[in-house]
Structure 1
Amino acid sequence: MTQISPQKVVSITYNLSVTDENGEKRLVESAEEDAPMVFLFGMSGLPEEFENQLSGKQAGDSFSFSLTPEQAYGDYDQQAVVEIPKQVFEIDGQIDADMLQEGNYLPMADNEGNHMQGKVVSIGNEVVQMDFNHPLAGMVMHFDGNVADVRDATPEEMDHGHVHGDGGHDH
């Protein structure tokens, strides 16, 4: 059987829980058999320690591990919560009220053109407060799951740096 290693396409099912402020585990995400998580090992953009925990496993293997904030998306950074002038969100002089709502994640770019996702925290008369922390920053994450499939990546997948076809990118 094929083991998880670089240049392999990996399909997993899992439950992701985080430890909340009361020390309780809270389920925040699942990938089920009908819609597994599929990624190109070594090129996924996932935390390095996440991939390290899966390395060497093969289809049918189960896994259970936890990642600290340092191993995953870092500590919550209060400086990543910023106020942005409300007019930045205008398109043709109008604000899309469906888009600009508290809790929505919006694609943004900084002054250097770096793309990021920001969560709308609050909307004032003049400014919008945005949080650019990763949604799982500062959290201990607990993964429990199974390896559904491992296969060789195609040359095209390696060139593009992502999975094509089922569970991947179509273009």
Structure 2
Amino acid sequence: MKIEPQHVVSLTYDLYVKKEDGTEGLQESATQEQPLTFLFGAGQMIPKFEEELSNLSTGDTYDFRITASEGYGEFDEEAVANLPLEMFQGTDVPQVGEVLPLQDNNGNRFQGQVVSVTEDSVIVDLNHPMAGQDLHFKGEILNVRPATPEELAHGHAHGPDGHHAH
């Protein structure tokens, strides 16, 4: 079956990104035992990722690259926040490298990685961890099926066989 909007896709992938020495290294994977399953066309994936998959069918393999600007965006030097240390009263001061769940004044949730801690503030990088990275995906389409009415109503896939996994 061919991948189309309102279909649930299960696939494997290996994601490679450039390391500091210029070679590509494996960043993350989805295996046949634990595939990535998603509702195609629901806006959950990078648009370019879906575009690259759009003509494939069950059993097809793929190998494509997505530039940083088409993936998670270029690294933004301005996307660094200076949080007052008082925000962390009553909790442990975050460590460099720690990822903090944050929320802006509009209630939008996002994550920031602590880049440094000073006497009076915590400096957090709000860029996506893969911002500025070109992405290289390789994998195989394991299954394509029409989404159920419930999945379409909820806007996401419900487990590999179409049911909630509780």
Q: What TM-score do you get using the length of structure 2 for normalisation?
A: 0.91
Query: What is the CA RMSD across the aligned residues, in angstroms?
Result: 1.8
Q: What whole-Å deviation, never above 9, does each CA across 1:79-133 have from its counterpart, x for those lacking one?
A: 111211122234xxx1135xx2322222211122211111122222211111111
Match of 2:108 among 100, 109, 114: 114
Identical columns (%): 45
Shift of 1:167: 8.5
Count the aligned residue pairs: 165
> Distance between the aligned counterparts of 1:138 and 1:145, measured in 2?
22
Match of 1:131 among 120, 125, 130: 125
Asked if residue 104 in structure 1 is aligned to residue 103 in structure 2, the reply is: no
The one-letter code sitting in structure 2 at the alignment partner of 1:96 is D
Structure 1 stretches of 4+ with a deviation exceeding 4 A read 167-171
Q: What TM-score do you get using the length of structure 1 for normalisation?
A: 0.89
Q: What whole-Å deviation, never above 9, does each CA across 1:115-157 have from its counterpart, x for those lacking one?
A: 1111122222211111111111101110010011111111111
Shift of 1:20: 2.7
> Distance between the aligned counterparts of 1:89 and 1:148, measured in 2?
45
Shift of 1:24: 1.1
> Distance between the aligned counterparts of 1:111 and 1:85, measured in 2?
16
- 2:63 alignment partner in structure 1: 64
Shift of 1:44: 4.0
- 1:22 alignment partner in structure 2: 21
After superposition, the Cα gap between the structure-2 partners of 1:167 and 1:77, relative to the gap in structure 1 and judged at 3 Å, is: farther
> Distance between the aligned counterparts of 1:158 and 1:165, measured in 2?
13
CA contact (8 A) 2:102 2:111 kept: yes
